[in-house]
Structure 1
Amino acid sequence: MDFVDAHCHIISEDLTSYPKAPIGGKQSEWAASRPVTAEGMLARMDETGIGQAVLVQATTNYGYDNSYVLDSSLRHPERFIAVGTVDPLRPDAAANLKAVAGEGGLSGVRLFTSGSTVPTQGEWFIAPETFPFWEQAAELDLPVCLQMRLGAATGQLVELLKRFPGVKVLLDHIGYPDIAASPDRAGADVAELGVHPGLHLKLTHRNLERLQDAGEQAGDFLTPVVEAFGAGRIAWGSNLPAAEQSLPDLRSLAEEVLAGLPEQDRQEIFAGTARRLYPFLGTHGS
């Protein structure tokens, strides 16, 4: 089976060429304690049988400086593409997006609205000042990863998807639905969002661990979500090294939880969706 890791992070040992500049001024714990270089990621991918990966900017280490993911993707174009973090509120956000995207540049961008170092969920991603950014993303057909938590900000997400239906939004970690509290309630809440054709889901260990814990009830979440979105709008990502497990263990976790899905659906989740979202993967991929 073809595997593309749609969400992993790299951090350089060269602090001179790639200085730390974490968003909010605070480096995440994992970035400080278990960083993985581009070369280290390649070694782990080879060990795990993963052909290609999407390098998602380590925002909690580099902020808006996308140099390392870009340089690494240019050094290894047959294995990596780069997704960088940008600021959609800057006055020239649309022009900046156009300048950094495309061949030799970013294959996608990420908005970091919430996370380990940004505990308060930001809702600025639908502020009127961001509209030129979203319009440009739609024009470029450039996927936008959205790191956010469903809940209070879900209304803003829905507003965004309605206002800009041509934008491809990839929801990191599926927006952290509360699977542990109730797999069926969480599944129903996520499935409701499936009516928006531009919305895609990124399935990572943060969801898969909760589904593993749920045991037989995992289907109460997976069944409605896969039915609502289709496997073709769901992509698997390891989240290494933010995830503490090894890459082989993370792949095994995903295979175990998704074992009940048809092979065609699993192939979509493990590679097909990512290849459609990021066409530059196909330039050198299998």
Structure 2
Amino acid sequence: MNIFDEPKIDCHNHLFDPARFPYHPDAPYAPSGQEIATLEQFSEVMDTYGVRQALLVGPNSGYHTDNRCLLHALAVGQGRFRGIAVVERDIPIDRLAALKEQGVVGVAFNPALYGIEHMDTAEANFGKLAELGMFAQIQVCEDQLLHLHGLLERNPVRVLVDHCGRPDVSAGVQQAGFQALLKLARSGRASVKLSGMQKFAAAEDLHGQSYAYVHALINAFGPDACVWGSDWPFIRQRSRVDYGPLLKLAERLMPDPHLRRKIMWDTPRRLFGFA
């Protein structure tokens, strides 16, 4: 059985459907053209490549704190999807609980896009997420995680780190930010997405430049705290990215089919409550 036939859950992807769900006026970027990504299009991609379920990530681009497109997909997906939402900094806990009832398992925080200052008011939401057993999904880049050490240490929230922590590949696995991510594994409440290699590695050498980071994460977190994601539909990319080659990349990075099944199926089913 090859990777296209194996059961898989894609744990990082986005929907953009401005015809049905107009973009938020405060969104930092408005995807267009080939970046448009409807539920119907993504469902077809999933069916083509044998992806059975998906964790949909509400994007800052396009929708900001408007989660209608995400919630629509969760409602009509009949259990095929779980979601990560983008919310206001002062969202009441009852609204978070209502999102959880609709299939949202966590909230996205994005200092990689907005800067580390974006996390200054995150603590109140961390407490609410911890109380509800939800995830704080965090996208950092380079050494940003160093500045979040105290915040993550004093809050018992479940943490989900995007895109391998988006390291600086020129600095090696010993760089301080990546080492901080590896140490986060010791908390026992953190997980990491083996995703977004195209965000930090060169398009012509995704395997060569991401291999050391992916395997350091698998060794530190273990397959019970690692999941895989595509980042479909690949917005703001400078060169073309296709879904199939990313699956083949995952197969090369994880040639053991038992390890792949754990990371791409068993672990996300357990973490995110897929039936």
Which of 144, 148, 151 aligns to 1:160? It is 151
Say whether the 8 Å CA contact 1:173–1:203 is kept in structure 2: yes
Report the more deviating stretch, 35-44 or 71-80.
Answer: 71-80
Whether 1:2 aligns to 2:7 is: yes
Partner of 1:273: 267
Task: Tell me the distance in 2 between the aligned counterparts of 1:216 and 1:9.
Answer: 26
Which residues in structure 2 correspond to 1:102-251 (within 5 Å)?
Answer: 102=101, 104-115=102-113, 118=114, 121-125=115-119, 127=120, 129-151=121-143, 153-165=144-156, 167-183=157-173, 185=175, 188-206=179-197, 210=201, 213=205, 220-242=212-234, 244-251=240-247
> How far did 1:177 drift?
1.0
What is the letter of the counterpart of residue 108 of structure 1?
Answer: G
TM-score scaled by length of structure 2: 0.84
Instruction: Report the more deviating stretch, 174-183 or 206-215.
Output: 206-215
Question: Where in structure 1 do 4 or more consecutive aligned residues deviate above 6 Å?
Answer: none
The 3-state SS of whatever aligns with 1:156 is helix
| Change in 2 beyond 3 A, CA 1:217/1:251 | closer
Letter of the aligned partner of 2:182 in structure 1?
A
Q: Counterpart of 1:253 in structure 2: which amino acid?
A: L
Equivalent residue pairs, number:
264
Of all paired residues, the percent bearing the same amino acid is 25
Amino acid at match of 2:108: R
Q: How well do the aligned residues superpose, as a CA RMSD in angstroms?
A: 2.6
Unaligned runs of 5+ in 1: none
Query: 1:12 aligned to 9, 17, 21, which one?
Result: 17
In structure 1, C-alpha distance between the alignment counterparts of 2:272 and 2:130, rounded to whole Å: 14
Aligned to 1:21: 24
**Residues 1:268 and 1:158: Cα distance change in structure 2 (over 3 Å):** farther
Unaligned runs of 5+ in 2: 1-5
**Cα-to-partner distance string for 1:55-89 (whole Å, 9 max, x where unaligned):** 111220011000011101111123222221112x3
Matched residue type, 1:265: L
Q: 1:98: how far off?
A: 2.3
Alignment check: 8 A CA contact 1:187 1:224 kept: no
Aligned-partner SS, 2:112: coil
